[in-house]
Structure 1
Amino acid sequence: MHRRAPSLHPGLMTDMYHPDSAYVSWRTGRNGLTTFDLYTRTAPFGGAYLLVAGLEAALEFVQSFRYTAEELKFLARIRDYDAAFLDELAEMRFTGEILALPEGSIAFPNEPIMRVTAPFREAILLEAGLLQAIGLSTLIATKASRIVYAAEHGKRRRVAEFAFRRAQEPMTVARASYIGGCASTSLLNAAYEFRLPATGTVPHALIELFPSEEEAFEAVAQAYNRYTLLLDTYDQRQAIHTAIEVALRTQETLGHTLAAVRLDSGDLVADSKYVREQLDKADLTNVRILASGDLDEWKILELLEAGAEIDSFGIGTMLGTGAGSVEHGIAGGALGAVYKEVWYVDESGTEYPKMKLAGAKSTWPGKKEIYRHPHWEEDIIQLSHEARPDNYQRLLRPVMRNGEMIPGSLPPLSEIRELAQQNLQQLPEQYRSLTVEQPYPVHFSEGLQSLRKQAVQLVGKSI
């Protein structure tokens, strides 16, 4: 039986409780202008920062959000919604305003990555799609930036993203990894779509295809002007001698160059030292040693601190899944972003601060701005009507107004990557490290603290 691939229905890219909430809002006539903040309470992977990504996907989702007749029939089958409510959904388009941190920005916990203001029903229906778009890309971009940082221990080393076969969203992973500093992707579809450099080596299966490792190496060397050989199919230390013999012979007869050798298993420290020694003895000093095999930022740093002779890394599973580390007690796999109501203007024009009162999960009410000290000494979160601190940089930028995209809101990927790398270079070293002793200082203005006290009193009266 032929099974067609699932199609994407933007209006159904919600959790069940979103249209249910919209229905209650519709029945009670409560659809005032509402502001939501999208942010995280903690930085991922035990670090201090987040590298923001995913805005392009988020805005594409907002622009495409609508309900087709087929989708409305589906909703009517699974829930007994009033027909007039479904009629409203049929006409619904986003009409509000969105401010966001540009992709490539550095954010810290509790800072709004995105601020959405729209009629309640529009804003609530966008929640899950926005969280998914921003959350996954930011998680992967941050992970990539940490891996690249670890790889540059002592000298500049390239990191290639090899995550396609293990990534839940491979195109998103390739794009976000590039923003985070990866030099290339193995996924040709991503290279084509995003104009990324594509790189790859050879699989063990190709080596095993031939009667001997030497014949396999010969075949690869003869096929390409510049080539990489995989050393660990049988025995790494024997393989490097075979590789050197083939490389010298092929260079003499065809002019083809051995560019790199790859180690994918074994004792990477000892084996890389041995391989480097043999290559240098053969006057193949320009041949790079590439390492792969379930590596992450912590393992890379351990290898390099132990003296591993590795020039570049190919990272797949741990990057593509945004994994944490069992050994270091670090959670991963999700960013944990939230989308919380912070302000409401009812139909009469009365304004209300909104907050969740739940201990450490309590939220901060009000329409906010973020300002950063020019030398990264602190960030200040304050109410939008409060005066900007002198010489501080405003971080949130308007990207949609009256439901329309603001021109220039989505720069090319190359510019996003450049901004990301500039920000990472400016980020003080103590906050760039894999683990941090003190979080980056994020302060809440007096006006915001006063509003929160007011909101707590309002919440207390409503209980």
Structure 2
Amino acid sequence: MNRRAPSFHPGLMTDMYHPDAAYVSWRTGRNGLTTFDLYTRTAPFGGAYLLVAGLESALEFVQSFRYTSEDLKFLARIRDYDSAFLDELAEVRFTGEILALPEGSIAFPNEPIMRVTAPFREALLLEAGLLQAISLSTLIATKASRITYAANKGRTRRISEFAFRRAQEPMTVARASYIGGCASTSLLNAAYEYRLPATGTVPHALIELYPSEKEAFEAVAEAYNRYTLLLDTYDVRSAIHTAIEVALRSQETLGHTLAAVRLDSGDLVADSKYIREQLDNAGLHSVRILVSGDLDEWKIEELLAEGAAVDSFGIGTSLGSGAGSVERGINGGSLGAVYKEVWYVDDSGTEYPKIKIAGAKSTWPGKKEIYRHPNWEEDIVQLAHEPRPDGYHRLLRPVMRNGEVIPGSLPPLSEIRELAQQNLEQLPAEYRALSPERPFPVRFSEGLLSLRKQAAQLIGKNVP
């Protein structure tokens, strides 16, 4: 049976309640200029920071957002919307302004990663698509940055992203992992699309294809000028001796070089030490040891602390799914970003701060800016009209104006990765740690604190 590939309908990339809410606002004539903040309340994986990614796909979504005649027919079937409302949806295009942290920026909880200002219905209908674009990429980029940090303590070790087969969104994962510091991807489509280095070894199935492990190793060695051998199909300590024998012979007779050996299971600490010793005894000092197999930043840290002789890591499942750690009680798999209304201007031009009061989930009203101390001593979140603190750097950047992307807002991926690595190097070590002792200082200005109280009083409430 032939199955039609799913089609992409930007106007339907919303939750059901978005057009429903837009319909209510249409019926009551409330569509004033509104500002929404996109942010997180906590940093993922028990860390202190977020490495921002996904802006390019977010803006592509905004630019493509519209309702086709097919979309509108579908909406008419599932809801009894007034036909005049559907006529308005047919004309919806984003006409507003977006400010955002550039991809590769470091953000902290409760700081706006993105600030969207547009007529209420335009801004509201974009919510889910923006959250999806920013949340997944930022989650994966942050995960990759933590993994590379754990691997590179004391010396440089390459991380290869092996996540395709278990990734939530393989192309997004490959791109975000590269921003976060991974050196290569196993996914050829991502290597082609994003011009990334592609790397891979050999599968166990190839070793099992041959009558003996030696014959399998010889076939690989004969096929490539530089090659990698997989050692844990049968017995690691026997395999390394076979690999050395084949490597020395192929180097002598063919000029082919054993570049690396890979371990995917077993006692990674003891076996890697044994393998390094045997390689060095054979004069194969340049052969790298690559380790893979359900690893994450915490397991890498433990392996290296125990003295594992590892030169590089291949990371799949934990990176592709943005996993936390069950053993450590650390959540993962989702960033938990939110998109909250913070400012509204009605038809008469009257401005209203908007706030949600819900304990720890209470929001901060007003159009905001973020400023960072040049030595990373603190960030200040303040109202947009408040003066910039002396010497501090402004973090939010205009990326869309009047519904159009501002030229230069979407740099090449190589520049995004470079910015990310520069920012990670500048981030103080205590906040780069896998389990920081305290959060990064984020201070809210007196003007913002005052506006929050004012917004709460307007609805007869008090804020915590």
In the alignment, what sits opposite 1:460? 460
RMSD: 0.7
Equivalent position SS for 2:459:
helix
Write out aligned runs for 1:126-275 (5 A). Answer: 126-275=126-275
- In 2: Cα distance, 1:44 partner to 1:321 partner: 13
Equivalent residue number for residue 316 of structure 2: 316
Q: Structure 2 unaligned segments of length 5 or more: list them.
A: none
Q: 1:65 aligns to what?
A: 65
Q: CA deviation at 1:153?
A: 1.8
Structure-2 residue corresponding to 1:13: 13
Distance in 1 of aligned mates of 2:146 and 2:355: 33
Tell me, what secondary structure is at the counterpart of 1:336? coil
Counterpart check, 1:406 vs 2:406:
yes
Q: What is the identity, as a one-letter code, of the residue corresponding to 2:271?
A: D
Counterpart check, 1:440 vs 2:433: no
Which residue is equivalent to 1:369?
369
Cα distance in 2 between the residues matched to 1:16 and 1:106: 33
What amino acid is aligned across from residue 420 of structure 1 in structure 2? A
Paired with 1:434 and 1:403, the residues of 2 have a C-alpha distance of 39
Q: Which residue of 1 aligns with 2:304?
A: 304
* Deviation by residue 1:242-269 (Cα, 9 ceiling, x = unmatched): 0000000000000000000000000000
Match of 1:300, SS state, is helix
Q: Secondary structure at the match of 2:279?
A: helix
Cα deviation for residue 328 of structure 1 reads: 1.0
Question: 1: distance between equivalents of 2:6 and 2:316?
Answer: 26
Distance 1:58 1:292 in 2: 32
| Residue of structure 1 in register with 2:431 after alignment | 431
For residue 26 of structure 2, what is the aligned residue in structure 1? 26
Instruction: Give distance in 2, aligned partners of 1:154 and 1:407.
Output: 40
Partner Cα distance (1:218, 1:2) in 2: 42
> What are structure 1's unaligned runs of at least 5 residues?
none
2-structure distance, mates of 1:106, 1:396: 11
Q: Flag the 1:87–1:295 CA change in 2: closer, same or farther, 3 A.
A: same
The AA in structure 1 aligned to 2:19 is: P
Q: Quick one: distance in 2 between partners of 1:159 and 1:459?
A: 52
Match for residue 43 of structure 1? 43
Letter in 2 for 1:459: I
Provide the rounded CA distance (Å) in 2 between the counterparts of 1:309 and 1:436. Answer: 27
Match of 1:352 in 2: 352
Q: 1:7: Cα distance to partner?
A: 1.1
Return the letter of the residue paired with 1:85: F
Shift of 1:461: 6.8
Distance 1:114 1:338 in 2: 11
Tell me which amino acid in the other structure corresponds to 1:61: F
1:227 aligned counterpart, secondary structure:
strand
Q: How many percent identity over aligned positions?
A: 86
SS at match of 2:166: coil
* 1:311 positional shift: 0.3
Name 2:387's counterpart in structure 1.
387
**Secondary structure of the residue that 2:370 maps to in structure 1?**
strand
Amino acid at match of 2:454: Q
Shift of 1:211: 0.4
Shift of 1:2: 1.2
- SS of the equivalent of 2:145 reads helix
Q: Distance in 2 between matches of 1:398 and 1:356?
A: 26
Q: Partner letter of residue 173 of structure 2?
A: V
Distance 1:259 1:61 in 2: 42
Output the TM-score relative to the length of structure 2.
0.99
**What is the one-letter code of the residue matched to 2:35?**
T
Q: What letter is aligned with 2:21?
A: S
* SS in structure 1 at match of 2:165: coil
Rounded to whole Å, the distance in 2 between the matches of 1:217 and 1:152 is 30
Query: Which amino acid counterpart does residue 372 of structure 1 have in structure 2?
Result: R
Please state whether the residue corresponding to 1:165 is helix, strand or coil: helix
Secondary structure of the residue aligned to 1:460 is: coil
Partner of 2:336: 336
AA aligned opposite 1:35:
T
Helix, strand or coil at the partner of 1:399: strand
Cα distance in 2, alignment partners of residues 451 and 157 from structure 1: 48
Alpha-carbon distance between aligned partners in 2 of 1:305 and 1:327, rounded to the nearest angstrom: 18
Report deviation, 1:154. 1.4
Q: What do residues 160-200 of structure 1 show as CA deviations (whole Å, max 9, x unaligned)?
A: 00000000200000000000000000000000000000000
TM-score by length of 1: 0.99
Distance 1:458 1:162 in 2: 53
For the residues of structure 2 that align with 1:194 and 1:287, how far apart are their CA atoms?
Answer: 29
Amino acid at match of 1:267: D
What's the offset of the Cα at 1:8?
0.9
Partner deviation per Cα, 1:355-407 (whole Å, 9 max, x = no partner): 10000000000000000000000000000000000010000000000101100
1:88-99 matched pairs, under 5 angstroms: 88-99=88-99
Q: Which aligned segments of 4 or more residues in structure 1 are displaced greater than 2 angstroms? A: none
What is aligned with 1:113? 113
The 2-side partners of 1:101 and 1:275 are apart by: 45
Q: Determine the structure 1 residue equivalent to 2:284.
A: 284
Deviation at 1:304, TM superposition (A): 0.1
Q: Which amino acid aligns with 1:317?
A: T
| Aligned residue pair count | 462
For 1:135, give the aligned amino acid.
Answer: S
SS of aligned partner of 1:369 = strand
